[in-house]
Structures are given as C-alpha cells and as structure tokens.
Chain A
Amino acid sequence: MRKTIFKGTALPLLLIAPQLLITCIFFLWPAGAAIWQSLLQEDPWGMSSQFVGLRNFTEVLAEPEWRGAAYNTLIFSTSVAVLAMGTALFLAVQADKSIRGANLYRTLLIWPYAVAPAVAAVLWLFLFHPSIGLVGRALNQAGIAWDYKLNGNQAMLLVIIAAAWKQVSYNFIFFLAGLQSIPRSVLEAAAIDGARPVRRFWTIILPLLSPTAFFLLVVNLVYAFFDTFGVIHALTGGGPGKATETLIYKVYVEGVQNVNLGSSSAQSVILMVLVIALTAVQFRFIERKVHY
C-alpha cells in the first residue's frame, strides 16, 4: 500500500491541529490537572496547598469504603455487561429471523438508546418505587417486602437492570449487524448436514460472532464503569448505606459533595489507569482478530 506523504511539516501539523487542540483542551489539560491535584493537600478554597506526594493514593487504597466501592463496581459492571449482552443477543437472534414486521421490532428495540440516563432512571423509579411504583406496589401486595431504599441488594438489582436496559439497544445493533454478516451458505451447509438450529447457533453463529461479542464486552464494561453515574445518582444516590456506590460515583461524592479535591483526584487518576488498561486490552485483541 502506498502512503501519501506531505512535503514539509507545516501542512500536516495544520491538518491535525483541530484534533490535537481538542485532545489537549478536553483530555490532556484536565487529566494533567487531576494528576497534579492528586499529589496535593488543599483546603476547599484553594488558599493553602501543600505537596504531599503519594499520600492521597495510599490513603484512598487503605480506605475500607474505597474497597467496598471497588467491589460494588465489579459486581455492578459484570452484571450489567452480562445482562445487557445476553438480552441483546437473544433479541438480535430473534429479530434476525424472517418474521413479519422485523423492521418495526428492530426500530423499537433501538429506541431506549436515545433516552438520557437520568430519564431512564426516573422511568424505572416510577415502576419500582415501593409506594408510588406500579411494580413496587404489586410486589408489596404480593407479600414480597420490596423497598430498595432500605434493602441494599434490591437497590443493586434495580440499578443493574436500569443501567443494562439502556445498553441493550446498543448491543442489539452490533449483534444484529454481526448476525447479518454471517454467510448464509455456511448456515445452509450446516443445515443440510443435519445440524438443528440450537446446534447451528452454538457451533457456527456464536464463534463467528465472537469478535463482535468481545468488542461489546469491552464497551459495556467501560460503559458500566464510567457512564452509569446518571442512573445511580437519580435512582439511589449511592445508597442505602453505600450499597450502590461505585468508583465513579465515589469520585463525585468526594470531589463535588465533600470538596475533598486531593482524594477525589487520586481516585479519578486510579480510574484513569483502569480505563487505559481496559483500552490497551481491547486494542491488542482487535489487532489480533482484525484480519480474519
């Protein structure tokens, strides 16, 4: 393959300047500020600050609350990813069949992606609130003590469902595209050889979908890590106790509510390291799988 080479350096620099500028202003600068802040001890008003090295990090990592949030994040992210991908795969397989009105189903299934996280949370709140929610009231009348404001496991279940629901549409689109790119001839050959639909699914469709599935796994984990703030904030606010406080929510609580900037910055730097690690894994994998 031939690469086009520009002469000199001025024009190429000019051409990538907008992208560089955006990266600098919206990523490098704030990320740098966070790293610097994470090494300081400061009063909320920023009038006295003192360099304390890595003390914020050691204190954060030693906190039982931080480890609790890390555990919550693990449970939450895994459950969201599994639930969102499982549901999406099931729906995509169903919508891929030759059924009447398939286009309508597909469109309807994509809709939830357009709903803002806070709005999604309010929709679920109206369903599951113990005293005003449709489902919540029904559960209580059926003798199941449903009160996610007091029961940590129920609260976790609710934020997982609400967060996963939002992500199903996104996964659905990718799975559907993945399914449609599987050559019909392979499936037909298997059918002629006597493989039933379930067997065809496990031995042909699923392996051929695996690059899509892995891509979605990474995207879903990143989503559950960083993008679910709105859902948690509107539904439970991290409670009851600290039952639904994830790492990203804790950064908010520490920085914005408690104005403890050093600790909050240290926590966001730790999160940044985590997402860089996740992205690195993703790139390695895609690099390996892309020419198949």
Chain B
Amino acid sequence: MRRRFLAQAGLAAAAIAATRTRPAAAQAPVEIQFWHGLAQPLGGQLEEIVAGFNASQSAVKVVPSFRGSYPETMVAAIAAFRANAAPHVVQMFEVGTGTMMAAGRAVKPVHELLSEAGVSIDFNDYLPAVRGYYQASDGRQMSMPFNSSTATMFYNKDSFKRAGLDPEVAPKTWEELGEALKKLKAAGIANPMTTSWPAWVQVEQVLAIHNMPLASLGNGFDGLGASMQVNNPLMVRHMNNLIAWQRDGLFKYGGRDNAADSLLPAGEVSITMGSSSLRARLLREARFAWGTAMLPYYGDVAGAPRNSIIGGASFWALNRGPQGGRSAAEWKGVAEFYRYLSQPEIDAKWHMDTGYVPVRRASYQVAKSQGFYEKNPGTEVAIEQLLRGGETTPNTRGIRLGGYVEIRNIIQEEMEKSFQGQQNGQQAMEAVTQRANTVLRNFERQNRG
C-alpha cells in the first residue's frame, strides 16, 4: 500500500513538473509523452527513431521515457491513469493485450485515432500474425504494432558435428529432435536442450503451430467468457515428453522468462528455443558455429505446422485519466507519430538493427532488396515461420485473455512442479486449467461493468 502511495505521489509530482515546463507560446510543438519498457541497447535504438520523428517535423515533439521492464511499464501506466497523469502512448507487451482490450475508454483505439486525425496506415500490408494479435475480433485495429518477435530454435553446429549429426539440417519434428538429443547426450553433452520463456515457447507456440486452441472463444478474441483448453492430448503428450527428457538428462529447465538465454551462448546446451532476438546475443557471445531453425512440430498431427505466434510489444494510446482529457491536437500528434513508425524504411531499419521481425511485408521487401538475408543467414527463419500456412486461424492469431500475465506465471509454476517430479503432464495441465480459469472468471467479473 505504501508502494502504491509513493508511486502516485511521484506521478503527481511528475505531472506538476510536466505542466510547468510546457511552453506557453502558441506555436510551440504539441508534446507527446511516450513510455517504453526497453532497456539498453534496444531502448536507445527506439529513442533514436523517436528523435528521427522529432527532427522530421516541428508540430509535434515526442518525449520518450524508459519505465522499467514491460510489466513495470504496464503497472506504471495504470497507476498514472488512475492519478489522471497517463502518458499519451505506452508500449505494452503482447501478454498485456487482453487487459488493454478490456480497458474500455482508458484506451483510444488506433482505428478511431487515425480516422479522426485523417491519417491512413495500410494495415493490410502488415503480417497477419502481427496485425491480428492487436485487432478486435471484427478486424478493427486497436493498437499500433511495432516491435514483434517470434520463437525460433538455435543450435550449436559444432556439437552436432561431434555427435555425428548433419550440422546443416536441424531436426524438423519433435520425434527427430528426441533422436538428436540422445545422440548429443551419447557424444558427452550433459544436458543437450533447454528453453527460454517456457510458457510462451512450450505451450502457446506448440498449440498455435498445431492449430490447436489454448482457450475457448478463439483464444479469448470473442469475449471475456473464454476458458482454458490446454488440457488436451497434444499438450499432455508434449509435457510428458519434456518431463521424461528432464528426468533422463536430455532437457534442462533453465528458469522462468528469459533466464535460460545464457545457456546456449555459454556452451552448456546444444539446442535452445527462445525469442528470435536471441540472435544478437549469440553474435556477440557464442564461440562456436551456430544455426537458426524453425520450432519443431509433431509429425503425426494433421494440419501442422502452421504459423507461430508473435511476442514483443505494441503501442497503445491512452486517455489522460478516467475523465478523458485529451485535445484533438494531441491525438493528431499521436497519429502523426504512428504514421512515421509505419513507414517501411523505418521498420526495416529497426528489424535489421535489432533482430525483431519486420511487421510489414513492404519492410521485408526493403530488407530483402538490401541483401540483408544473404549477408545474415538465419534471419529469415522467423519471418518464414510467421508467414507459414498463409492466413492465420482463430488458433494462431494469438492470445487475448485478461490477466494473462498471471496465467503465464501459473503455467510456469505448474511446469516447474512437473519438472520437480511432483506431477505428470496431465496433472499439470489440469492444474493450469483450474487455476487459470479462476483468474479468467475474476477478470470477467471485474470488467463486466
């Protein structure tokens, strides 16, 4: 409680300071507060783009400010909104999307913002897996897609060679992967495989790639009444595989979120699955030849593989507080900022500099025409995986569940209990379903009004 009070006091002080420094002159640019959750070096690269926008015109000035990790940024924005001092634009990670969608008039939907300001952005050119994640179920764009990634597999080519595996051909299916793990183990690698983002990679991605639902009502896109559907034969089979591999020393659980990111670069494991942006770290730290490949799938599941889903974040326009309180000029400024971000050249540069995927087909073409993919083999894998199977299905659009930050933690906790040997895959998925449904019902109750 003290923490919340201090946060509010701090925000109030910041708001006072902000109003005081606002220039009084009539021709002064409209100031747009922009909060983001990217630490260095990504945060600096993002702020360079903002600086580019500010230099490109004189009517609007966007003021970026780093607010800690994604969850911290989300909570800061919510606290600021309650204190009537919300930023104009906040960067929100993809798991917060369900919470934002239910935020009602706290949020200014992108389609409304653009049409009022008379600015148009061609969202049809955006990758379906990217735009769909941030659309209402009727296809209206709710937030502005920006930094998106997806999960891919990275592997150590040197240890593949040592184990007598073809270093140029990564395992395509989980069955092949299982065989490869045994060979790697036989070649003396103590724990051949790990995973980052256990819930995102081993549950959400696995379900999407096999075109299976994570929750009812189209993964929550069609309403707040969705309930979990992870307790299905595919998920149970996958969990039991991971549990057995963990027991046999083929798989090493490396911790929650991105805690396992360090294991492949350090040479402790030969295969990892994680965000496509892990590439930058491998370039910097790996002392061995490595390759990138798509996530594996179960070869005997009909309809697999489909596209994977995205991670990363999008930009949300917020009202100042519960009473609204933004001028048309401010909204217009936000719209202009969005239009700048949507340019293929800007997006392509961001993609090539950072390892995030291009969010537009046009930006993909820009990167292609500059020969980026020939010079940087492996960088195309993530995009191809996102585009696999054509248009997205209700199971591969993404996840739209309220309280999903909490649900992801529940999934991680139940996976940890399984890896400790306390429960099997079936029990883990039952526990996830039961606990996550409580969260969903609670969220539904809070947001009905």
Contact = CB atoms under 8 A, between A and B. Distances in A.
A237 B409 CA distance: 11
A239 B413 contact: yes
Given A150-B419, A152-B420, A265-B1, A45 B266 contact: no
Nearest to A41: B446
Interface residues of A, number: 35
Given A47-B103, A48-B449, A258-B406, 16 more contacts: A33-B1, A43-B102, A45-B78, A45-B106, A45-B322, A46-B81, A47-B104, A47-B106, A131-B268, A150-B420, A152-B420, A240-B416, A240-B417, A257-B75, A259-B74, A259-B99
Interface in A234-253: 237, 239-242, 253
B71 interface: yes
Given A131-B266, A240-B416, A257-B409, A45 B4 contact: no
A80 B423 CA distance: 30
A48 B266 CA distance: 50
A255 B4 contact: yes
A256 B75 contact: yes
B427 interface: no
Contact of A150 (B74, B253, B403): B253
A241 B413 contact: yes
B406 A257 contact: yes
11 contacts: A41-B446, A43-B447, A44-B103, A45-B81, A149-B255, A241-B422, A257-B71, A257-B405, A258-B406, A260-B406, A265-B1
A240 B414 CA distance: 9
A26 B447 CA distance: 31
Contacts of B422: 241
Contacts of B445: 41
Interface string B239-264: 00000000000000111100100010
A68 to B, nearest CB: 11
B253 A149 contact: yes
A240 B420 contact: yes
Interface residues of B, number: 45
A261 to B, nearest CB: 8
Interface of A: 26, 29-31, 33-34, 41-48, 50, 65, 131, 149-152, 237, 239-242, 253, 255-260, 265, 268
Of residues A30, A65, A253, A268, which shows the largest number of chain B Cβ atoms within 10 Å of its Cβ? Answer: A30
A29 B5 contact: yes
B7 to A, nearest CB: 9
B446 A42 contact: yes
Contacts of A265: 1
A258 B82 contact: no
B239 to A, nearest CB: 15
Contact of B2 (A30, A237, A260): A30
A259 B78 contact: yes
B3 interface: yes
B120 interface: no
Contacts of A149: 253-255, 259
Of residues B1, B104, B413, which shows the largest number of chain A Cβ atoms within 10 Å of its Cβ? Answer: B1
Contacts of B3: 256
A241 B411 CA distance: 9
B224 to A, nearest CB: 11
B442 interface: yes
Contacts of A239: 256, 412-413, 416
